[in-house]
Amino acid sequence: MFRRLAAEFFGTFWLIFAVLGTALFAAGFPTVGVGFLGVALAAGLAVLTMAYAVGPISGGHFNPAVSLGLAVAGVFAWKDLIPYWIAQLVGGIVAAVIIYAIASGKAGFTAGGFASNGYDALSPGGYSMVAVFLVEVVLTAAFVMIILGATSKAASPGFGPIAIGLGLTVVHLIGIPVSNASVNPARSIAAAIFSQNGALPQVWLFIVAPLIGGALGAVLWRYIVAPGEPQEQLGRVE
């Protein structure tokens, strides 16, 4: 179990380090940077690379909503859910701490939003709480369905991380203008801790909505899309 939790820690660390780092350092650097397309690619490539690197050890969840979804789908042991959540949260927070330490080394640095998620005035496009909640549920559900399909026994072996990484890229392309794209409670909590724009009181939405979306995606996959089909285990069911 230690190796599995360590893999989840490092995988989540790398995902959140990539997203926050790209958003803070490269998105608008120096005057024209990679923009939200670059942030979306960073998220997708981070998941893709870590899925290959440590996915065979832990299943490559890197996201509490994904772990919940896989448990609902019956391919991950419920008893391992809380330990995975803890490893993911710690990995995300450590990534945010290091990003903050790097960013604060520049004269005149202010954390501002710190690439946090939000609704209403904190939404990049000014979207309402309801709109943000809906997009987070739908995008997380779709992402979990992509994971289950890409790693099923019917899928081409070895290509799952590519589909998952591309899927997360699309999720961010849609979600960044609306909510700054969470679909991952660990990512939202880590960023909100250091934000100075009032994101922390709104972080509840980015915990609840992705968890609902993860469970919904698992239910849709298990009982509607692929009823009765055995799935490749992404976590050991003991």
Mean pLDDT over the full length of the chain: 91
Asked if residue 238 belongs to a domain, the reply is no
Distance CA 89, CA 187 (A): 8
In CATH, what number is assigned to the domain containing residue 69?
1.20.1080.10
Contact between 75 and 31 under an 8 Å Cβ cutoff? The reply is no
Asked if residue 231 belongs to a domain, the reply is no
Asked if residue 19 belongs to a domain, the reply is yes
- The 10s digit of each residue's pLDDT in 37-94 is 999 999 999 999 999 999 999 999 999 999 999 999 999 999 999 999 999 999 999 9
- The 10s digit of each residue's pLDDT in 110-169 is 888 899 999 999 999 999 999 999 999 999 999 999 999 998 877 777 888 999 999 999
Asked if residue 150 belongs to a domain, the reply is yes
Asked if residue 236 belongs to a domain, the reply is no
Distance CA 180, CA 132 (A): 9
Neighbours of 15 (CB within 10 A): 29
Distances in Å between the alpha carbon of 125 and those of 100, 104, 117, 199?
A: 25, 27, 12, 15
Asked if residue 29 belongs to a domain, the reply is yes
Q: What domain count does the chain have?
A: 1
Asked if residue 100 belongs to a domain, the reply is yes
pTM of this structure: 0.90
Place of tokens 């391919």: 75
Q: Which one-letter DSSP state was computed for residue 79? A: G
Banded pLDDT at 236 (limits 50, 70, 90): very low
Asked if residue 232 belongs to a domain, the reply is no
Domain extent for 51: 2-225
